[in-house]
């Protein structure tokens, strides 16, 4: 059983649309969340991190975190074909920022 669950497994959105990705940890001993993006054939790269309850925005990307439910979501507005990628959510406990547990990923396709 994956300790970090992501949904949906795959998502298709039209160019210019909004993509919403979800991630929940079943391990209550986590406190910090990261979102990584992996384009096809490439290595993962960190997109955003969030450590506190609430919302964080960077350009077209917004991340929400609810620590009580251990749920985070990533929203991409004005989606572009270049956003098509595998999005990986990761969580870590406060005692060990370095030890990440990744979810299985959401595959996003943005179609013209």
For residue 24, give every residue at least 6 positions away whose Cβ sits within 8 Å of its Cβ, in sequence order, or none.
4, 5, 69, 70, 71, 72
Q: In whole angstroms, how close is the CB of 103 to other proteins at the nearest point?
A: 5
Which region among 11-19, 38-46, 57-65, 75-83 touches other proteins (by CB under 8 A)?
38-46
Using an 8 Å Cβ cutoff, are 65 and 57 in contact? no
Smallest distance from other proteins to CB 105, Å: 5
Which of 14, 29, 45, 52 touches other proteins (CB under 8 A)?
Answer: 45
Taking only Cα atoms into account, the Rg of the chain, rounded to an integer number of angstroms, comes to 13
- The rounded distance, in Å, linking the Cα atoms of 23 and 69 is 11
Shortest CB 48 distance to other proteins, Å:
10
Phi first, then psi: what are they for 69, rounded to 5°? -100, 0
Q: Which is nearer to other proteins, 36 or 110 (CB)?
A: 36
Q: Which residues bind other proteins (CB under 8 A)?
A: 2, 4, 6, 34, 42-46, 49, 88, 90, 97-105
């Amino acid at each position: 059983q994956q300790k970090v669950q992501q949904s949906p497994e795959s998502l298709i959105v039209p160019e210019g649309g909004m993509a919403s990705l979800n991630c929940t940890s079943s391990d209550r001993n986590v406190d910090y969340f990261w979102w990584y993006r992996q384009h096809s054939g490439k290595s993962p790269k960190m997109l955003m991190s969030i450590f506190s309850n609430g919302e964080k925005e960077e350009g077209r990307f917004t991340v929400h975190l609810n620590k009580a439910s251990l749920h985070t979501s990533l929203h991409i507005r004005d989606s572009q074909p270049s956003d098509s990628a595998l999005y990986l959510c990761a969580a870590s406990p406060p005692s060990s920022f370095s030890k990440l547990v990744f979810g299985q990923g959401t595959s996003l396709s943005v179609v013209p």
